[in-house]
Amino acid sequence: MFLLQCPKCKNKMRYQGKDIYLTGKRKKCVYCGKSFKVNSNITKNYKN
Ligand SMILES: [Zn+2]
C-alpha cells in the first residue's frame, strides 16, 4: 500500500497495487478529481 499526495489539492490518499512503478499509471484524486501520475507523487511506501 502506498500513500499518495495530490499535486493540486495536497490531500493524501492511500493507493493499493503492486503495479505502481509502471510508467504512465495514473490515479484520479478522490478529493478534487484531478488525475495525476502515481509514481511521481508517492509520499510513503508501506510494507504490507
Ligand atoms: Zn486533489
Helices (H), the chain: none
Q: How far is the CA of 29 from the centre of ligand 1 (A)?
A: 5
Residue pLDDT, tens place only, 26-35? 889 999 999 9
Residue pLDDT, tens place only, 1-32? 778 899 999 999 988 766 655 556 788 999 99
Instruction: For residue 32, give the H/E element and its range.
Output: none
Could you identify the residue written with the cell 493499493?
Answer: 16
The domains of the chain are located at 2-45
The predicted model scores a pTM of 0.71
What separation in angstroms does the CA of 33 have from each of 11, 13, 24?
11, 12, 18
Instruction: For residue 34, give the H/E element and its range.
Output: none
CA distance 36 to 27: 6
Ion ligand 1: residue ranges with CB closer than 5 A: 6, 8-9, 29, 31-32, 34
